[in-house]
């Protein structure tokens, strides 16, 4: 009996390692969900998961479409959860070409060292002191900064970049919450988009004022 139980437990761990963790950002997730047949993921407390949905069939309550099994049990049984996130910065993106332009344009990294600007930016607001100390100059370095904000890697906040690069992406053995590299890099791209959007808005305001002064 113990061998069977232990074997099942090991198989569950292997499944969780293999199961991808996918977050999808939307300007308005409800607009997408309104057009998509889906079931809502459930926490082990019985409450609705804030972001998790299933786009394949899963045992659920037909009234509120809430899964009848919590998302971790569902994952153990092979059900694949997606996380649909509301990210308001995308409301100001005009179209796909505009998004590509914002993603590919190198931002003015030194602006993050200005507290007023840093506090406007998605995911780094409130972390100006750390940003100013580490002075990230690439998406990869910014991703590392996002990772060491999280509990498992906070001990790296006083380290140099050589030490940070070596240790930041290693999985903590104590199970403490950390940011996976894929998540951190994705959010670093989103921050670049947001930085460039803010600069676009500031430039637009500046141009309007110049036109008003000239008229």
pLDDT in tens, 28-85: 889 889 999 999 999 989 999 989 999 999 999 999 999 999 999 999 999 999 999 8
Q: Which of 86, 106, 141 is the last residue of a domain?
A: 86
Shared domain for 139 and 159, answered yes or no, is yes
- 8-state DSSP, 172: P
**Residue-level pLDDT at 14:** 55
Shared domain for 127 and 47, answered yes or no, is no
Q: Is 94 exposed, middle or buried (0-12, 13-18, 19+ CB in 10 A)?
A: exposed
23 lies in which domain range? Answer: 1-86
**How many domains would you assign to the chain?**
2
CB crowding 97-134: b at 16 or more within 10 Å, else e: eeeeebeeeebebebbeeeebbebbbbbeebbebbeeb
CB 184 within 8 A of CB 146: yes
Starting at the edge strand that comes first in sequence, how are the strands of the sheet with 66-70 ordered? 22-26, 82-86, 48-54, 39-42, 66-70
DSSP E strands in the chain: the ranges are 22-26, 39-42, 48-54, 66-70, 82-86
- Chain mean pLDDT for the chain: 87
Sequence-distant (6+) residues with CB within 8 A of 143 are 181, 184, 185, 187, 188
Question: pLDDT-based confidence at 178, cuts 50/70/90?
Answer: confident
Is the whole-model pTM more than 0.85?
no
Shared domain for 45 and 119, answered yes or no, is no
CB 146 within 8 A of CB 126: no
Using DSSP, state whether 160 is helix, strand or coil.
coil
Shared domain for 195 and 132, answered yes or no, is yes
Shared domain for 67 and 127, answered yes or no, is no
Using DSSP, state whether 77 is helix, strand or coil.
coil
Shared domain for 78 and 126, answered yes or no, is no
Angle among Cα 46, 52, 54 to the nearest 5 degrees reads 100
Shared domain for 6 and 69, answered yes or no, is yes
Shared domain for 149 and 112, answered yes or no, is yes
Q: Please, what is the angle between helix 139-149 and helix 181-214, to 10°? A: 110
Res 155 pLDDT > 90: yes
Residue with tokens 């394949």: 56
* Dist. CA 29–CA 27, nearest whole Å: 6
- Mean of the pLDDT values across residues 104-127? 95
Q: Which of 31, 61, 86 is the last residue of a domain?
A: 86
Shared domain for 71 and 130, answered yes or no, is no
Shared domain for 76 and 103, answered yes or no, is no
**Residue-level pLDDT at 5:** 40
Shared domain for 130 and 82, answered yes or no, is no
Phi then psi dihedrals of residue 60, to 5 deg? -150, 165
Q: Which of 61, 86, 111 is the last residue of a domain?
A: 86
Shared domain for 74 and 28, answered yes or no, is yes
């Amino acid at each position: 009996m113990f061998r069977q139980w232990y074997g099942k437990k090991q198989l569950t761990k292997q499944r969780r390692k293999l199961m991808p963790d996918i977050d999808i950002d939307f300007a308005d997730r409800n607009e997408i969900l309104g057009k998509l047949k889906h079931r809502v993921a459930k926490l082990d407390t019985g409450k609705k998961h804030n972001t998790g949905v299933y786009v394949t069939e899963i045992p659920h309550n037909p009234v509120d479409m809430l899964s009848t099994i919590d998302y971790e049990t569902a994952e153990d049984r092979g059900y694949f959860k997606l996380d649909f996130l509301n990210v308001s910065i995308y409301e100001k993106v005009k179209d796909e070409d505009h998004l590509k332009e914002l993603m590919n344009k190198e931002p003015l990294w030194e602006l993050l060292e200005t507290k007023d600007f840093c506090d406007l930016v998605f995911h780094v607001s409130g972390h100006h002191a750390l940003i100013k100390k580490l002075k990230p100059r690439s998406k990869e370095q910014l991703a590392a900064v996002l990772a060491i904000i999280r509990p498992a890697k906070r001990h790296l906040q006083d380290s140099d970049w050589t030490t940070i690069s070596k240790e930041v992406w290693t999985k903590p053995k104590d199970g403490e919450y950390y940011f996976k590299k894929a998540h951190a890099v994705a959010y670093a791209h989103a921050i670049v988009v947001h930085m460039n959007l803010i600069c676009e808005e500031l430039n637009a305001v500046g141009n309007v004022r110049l036109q008003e002064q000239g008229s």
